[in-house]
Each structure stands twice: as C-alpha cells, then as structure tokens.
Amino acid sequence: MSVQMNARAILKSAAPFIAHYSGIGRALAFHYAGPGTIFVLHSIVGDIAHYPDHHIRCSVAALERILRWLRDQGVEFVSLDEAVERLERSSTGRFCVFTFDDGYADNLTHALPVMARFDAPFTVYVATGMVSGEIDAWWLGLARLIRTRERLELPELDCSFDCSDPASKKRTYLAITTHIDSNSGALAAVRTAIAASGIDCHELARAEGLNAEQLRRLAASPLVTIGAHGVRHIHLARATVAEVEREMTASRRFLQDIIEREVVHFAYPFGACGPREAQIARSVGFRTAVTTQRGTLFSDHLAHRYALPREPISANDTSASLRYKIDGTYRALHSRFGDPVVHMDSQALRIQKDSDTRDTPPLTVNSTSTAAEDTADRAAPRVCLCVPTFRRPEGLRKLLSHVARLTYAGPISVIVVDNDARDRAGAKVVEGLSHSYRFPLTCILEPRRGLTYASNCAFANACRALPAPTYIAVLDDDEYPEPNWLTELMSVALEHDVDIVGGPVFPVFDTPDHWLASSGLYAPLRFATGRVAMIYGSGNMLIRRSILEQYLDEPFLHDFAFTGGGDLEFFWRCRKHGRSFAWADSAHAFETTPQARTTLSYLLRRRFRNGAESTCIERMLYSKSIGATLRRWYKALGLLGLGMLSLPISAFGGRRAVVSSLVHVARGAGRIAAEFGILYEEYQEPR
C-alpha cells in the first residue's frame, strides 16, 4: 500500500512537469488560464527550517523571490476589490491578488515590509479567535510539542516518532496531521499529549496572532484590506445555519469595531463552503468569499463571487510551479480536466492538504450539532426512518414488522410516504398498524409520481419532525433489516464522526434455485467497515439531519424521478461539498427479489439504466468541459468494446462469463444512449 501511495504521490507531483515539457501545458493554458489568480499564504517567518508546521509557513526570502518572479513575468499586483473590478470590465493583462489567512502577527512584522517594497496590495483574513484567544489552536500546540522533543510517544495511538532533527520533525508533523485527517478520533490523543506537556494552545494563538493594536496598525496601511475568517476557525459546511451566521456576523462585527471600517470580504475556514454557506455570506453583507479550491479567475466568476478559487504558495514554490498555478495547469489536474471556472456547483468542500495542513477542525467544536443534538444521548441518538413506497403493500408490511424488532437503544420514529394517492395501498398498511405499532408511525401521501418526489417528501417531513431527530435513516419498501441493523449503522456513524453511512443490501430470491440467483451478478457492492470516499445507494442509509436539511430544496433531483439515480447524484454533490462518508458492513438489509427480476432481460435493462444514469450525472457535474465529454465517451466506448471483444472468449467460460460480457455491453450502450437523451424510465411503469 505504501509503495502504491508513494508512486501515486510521485506521479501527482510529476504531472505538471510532464504537462509542461510535453507541450500539453500550453494547450491546457488556452482553456484553464484566466486573467487573474488569487494566492493564499498564512504565516511569514524569517526562516522556516525549524518550523515543523512548514506547510503554513513561508520565509521572507521565499516571499520576495515569488514576488520578484511574478513581477518579471508582467503579472500586476492588485487588491481584491480591483480584481473584481477588472473582471467586471473584462480587462486584459495578467494580475494576481495576495491573501493571508488566520491573522498571524508576522503578517504585520514580516509580510507588510516585503509587500510594501513591491507595492503589492494584499488581504488578511482574520480569524478573530486569534486576536481574542478563543481559538484552541491544537495545530500550533502540536508544532510546539514536536519542536521541543527528540522523540514523541503517543501511546494511545500506539505510535512513536523520531524528532531528532528538523527534517524528522516535519515528517512527524505531517504524519500526525494526515492521520488526524483520516481518523478524527486521533485528535483526542494528540490533545492529551499537548496538555500533558503543559502547552496552552489558547496562549499560543494569542502569542502568534495579531492583537487589537497590531490589527489597527496593519489595517492602517493603504496596501492592506482586512477580511473576516470566522471566530473559531471551524468547518462551516458541517455547522448548523445558526452557527454559520454567528461565525460570520460575529467575526465581521469584531473586526469592524477594531479597525473602524467596513469588512466586506470573507474566507471560509478550511476553504469549506456550499450553496448554503455562500447564501449566508451574501445575506450578512459580504461582497466576496474565497475558498481553497484551485484555479484562476475568469469573468464568469462574477456570478460565483462567493466561491472564488485560490492557489496556495509556499517556500517550496519554484518558477515552474508558479507558472503552473497562473496558467491553470493545477486546476486542470485537480479537477480532472473539468470545468475551468470554479463555481458553487463544482465547489469541492474537502479540505485541501496542499494549502492548509490543519485539515481537521478541533473536535471540541462539534459544529454539526444543534442545541437539541447536544442534549441527546450520544450513545443512541434519536432517529427518524423514512420509507418511500409505491404499490408494494406486502413488502411494506414485511419491512415494518422487521423494523419493530430492531434492537436499537435510542428513540425511533417512522415516516412512510405513499406515492400512490389513488389506491393508497401503503397508507392502508400503516393505518392498520399505527395504533399498536412499537414506534410512532406516520403515513403521508405524495400525489406527484416519481421516486424523487416520494423520497424528498419523506426527508422534508423527517427534518421538520418533533422532537427533532439527530439522524435520518432510509429503507426501500422492498427491503427489511436485521435486528441490529440500525445499531450497526449508528455505531459506525459515531465512531468515525461522519455525515452519511451506508450498508449492504443482500438480495433474497423468490426463486433461489435459478442459476442467476447463484451467479454472483446480483451481489451488492461492499467495502470494509470504516470511512469511504462515497456510498452509491440510499436503500440502506443513515444521514445527519443537520446535513440533510441543507439540501431540502431538492435533495434528490426530479430529473431522476423515473430513471433512478437521484440518490447517486445526491451523494456526488455531498462529496463535492465535503460531506464525510462511512460504510457499515455489518448493517445488513435484505431486498426481496421476485422472479420477474431474476431474468437476463431485467438484469441487462438494469445495467443499461445504470450506464445511462452515470452519464447523466457526469454531464450535470461537468457539462462545460470538453475533457469531461471525451472522458465520458472513453468510458462508454471502453465498456462497449470490452464487452463485445470479450464475448466470444466468454463463451468458453459458461453462462456467467457470457452474461458478464453482456453487462459491460449494456452499461456502455446505456452511456451512449444517454449522450443522445435516450433514457430507460424504469420507474415510469408500475412496479
């Protein structure tokens, strides 16, 4: 695994150089190089050699070198306000904006003199907790701990690190922060070690951060614009609406009171934002907001000025890497040749490692919790189970009977949404059970036909339910769970501190002796229990209410009402918005699979639909990109070609091998058909 990861890292770092020397970079620049670039830095120090947290440090000499190179390339230094004006005027000429995040005192003592020598305006985004000492800056505490040790022991993590020289200290810092990024529970052990060493993280924030007088002096410079960066530097995309508003308005008011001028620019902590955060930033009065998404500025960003991209720079930057940043090469690679314009729909909320090593916010700030959640039983939070149904009364009855046997220790309520307002078969089942059912059971009629309408109706009512659930679970009306199903889902959600958890759905065949039933072709996709990049279906799902309520306008897009795929598109959006996922492989649900589904024609139609929905989702996500279009066709033709070429050979491997080849053909054909708007509306027909 380590060899694979090292090879991947080497290939990733070499990709820009390959693009440059092969000539591909010039072609990419034609498409990805906008007229302007916003750069992001943090702390400026005299010498970074003895700083373990070197990723957020840049030396004075390196800053001078970077400024000199950019000036020699004819790139103009402008303020953020002027950058916006240039986009509005569609001005020609290359320009760049410098920004500094967090509010370190060295922005005044070290950065300002250098920037003044080059007459370079810059914006300092101040997290006001750095000024007041409210930030529990564990990343500074960790750096201090490593800096003072020859060897660091973390017995709770069963880890030991060599810290005998500057290089090993940097490796240790990077290793620990990377581990925290993938396993947020590790932060508790790190905090324990910091506290045991007598290091006060609040005091470190006050020592390294600007005080009120320094902030006034910095703001007095005609080169400097002060922007807001929240109060506690928390991950806003995981916070409640009230918390986001409080972080934005409180930090803005705090800064305005000190510098006595308006603060109109905002930087999302960790670069994390979605449509909700952008709307709040706009509503509280900010004119722009910046992320850590990579890319250059285009005039199109005027419509997305609350998701402006930035390129990180550091002491490690060379003239080559700087060129790749201003010509859009990094944007092309990081977006996988997607849309050159970073906008809210394409805004990735995952924390960017190359721009900020403090990728995980402090665990003591549980930003996803509402006041109701904070008082809930943390071991077994309240859950609302959503069950969309359409003309499957027996399946619904079976599901509800199994739900009544759940062993989950916390409070549960159940909402059934009947999507058949005429016959109301599902509603009749609920009416017959509700008076004696173990849990509160409600049925709602959704007259608008389609999977997405039923699901979204269930989500909206679950989010509005009182008492408010902490989590919302989902099962389909042809499924039923094991007794420990919800306990297993919740255990993984709490252990890994994630937003969305999925589990396997195993088919149970009415005709188990059919050869297709034992072929493995119906086997569910499975992962090892733990964090995963994403899940791919909502039939066995648990999601935080505080996350779902941010998408209530249309969680499952109605474009997928009859084709299916609305859940997959939703998960892709959540992933791009930085939501976290995990898999609970012991949370078993079962799907009743009737004889009508155990046929070759059904299997191939289903795979055709899967291919078509994949293409539809990719077109929505990357509709402007030529590269994405070519990539879609590459996948489609690849699947089609693989299936057709392997078909003659598969004849020697038996029926399963032949069907596997046909499945590839069906998926490829579905992808191609979707490119021409031909879709299989499986759920338009009565199920």
The C-alpha atoms of residue 566 and residue 226 are separated, in whole angstroms, by: 42
Task: Summarize the confidence of residues 164-191 as an average pLDDT.
Answer: 82
Which amino acid is present at 315? A
Which amino acid is present at 607? R
The C-alpha atoms of residue 398 and residue 433 are separated, in whole angstroms, by: 12
Which domains does the chain possess? 2-346 (3.20.20.370), 371-596 (3.90.550.10), 617-684 (no CATH)
Whether the predicted pLDDT of 686 surpasses 60: no
Residue showing tokens 């919740």: 490
pTM strictly above 0.85: no
How wide is the angle at C-alpha 111 spanned by C-alphas 107 and 113, nearest 5°?
Answer: 125
**367 band by pLDDT with thresholds 50, 70 and 90:** very low
If phi over 0 gives left and psi between -120 and 50 gives alpha, with beta otherwise, what is residue 249?
alpha
* pLDDT at 231 (0 to 100): 93
**How many Å is the Cα radius of gyration of the chain?**
27
Q: Dihedral sign, CA of 453, 459, 461, 464?
A: negative
Whether the predicted pLDDT of 597 surpasses 60: yes
More confident: 356 or 651: 651
| pLDDT tens sequence across 246-305 | 999 999 999 999 999 999 999 999 887 888 898 899 888 899 999 988 889 988 888 889
Whether the predicted pLDDT of 49 surpasses 50: yes
* pLDDT at 647 (0 to 100): 85
Whether 297 and 83 have beta carbons less than 8 Å apart is answered as yes
DSSP strand pairing (500-502 vs 540-544): antiparallel
Whether 683 and 562 have beta carbons less than 8 Å apart is answered as yes
The C-alpha atoms of residue 314 and residue 54 are separated, in whole angstroms, by: 9
**13 band by pLDDT with thresholds 50, 70 and 90:** low
The C-alpha atoms of residue 261 and residue 197 are separated, in whole angstroms, by: 41
* pLDDT at 345 (0 to 100): 44
Residue 316: closest CA among 82, 135, 49, 127: 49
| pLDDT tens sequence across 483-529 | 999 999 999 999 999 999 999 999 999 888 898 888 888 899 899 99
**685 band by pLDDT with thresholds 50, 70 and 90:** low
Task: Summarize the confidence of residues 369-381 as an average pLDDT.
Answer: 52
The C-alpha atoms of residue 121 and residue 95 are separated, in whole angstroms, by: 12
| pLDDT tens sequence across 95-143 | 999 999 999 999 999 999 999 999 999 999 999 999 988 888 888 999 9
The whole-chain average pLDDT of the chain stands at: 84
Average the pLDDT over each of 308-322, 378-392, 623-637 and give the range with the smallest value. 623-637
| Three-state secondary structure of 272-292 | CCCHHHHHHHHHCCCCEEECC
**584 band by pLDDT with thresholds 50, 70 and 90:** very high
Task: Summarize the confidence of residues 166-194 as an average pLDDT.
Answer: 82
Whether the predicted pLDDT of 683 surpasses 70: no
Q: Give percent of the chain above pLDDT 70.
A: 86
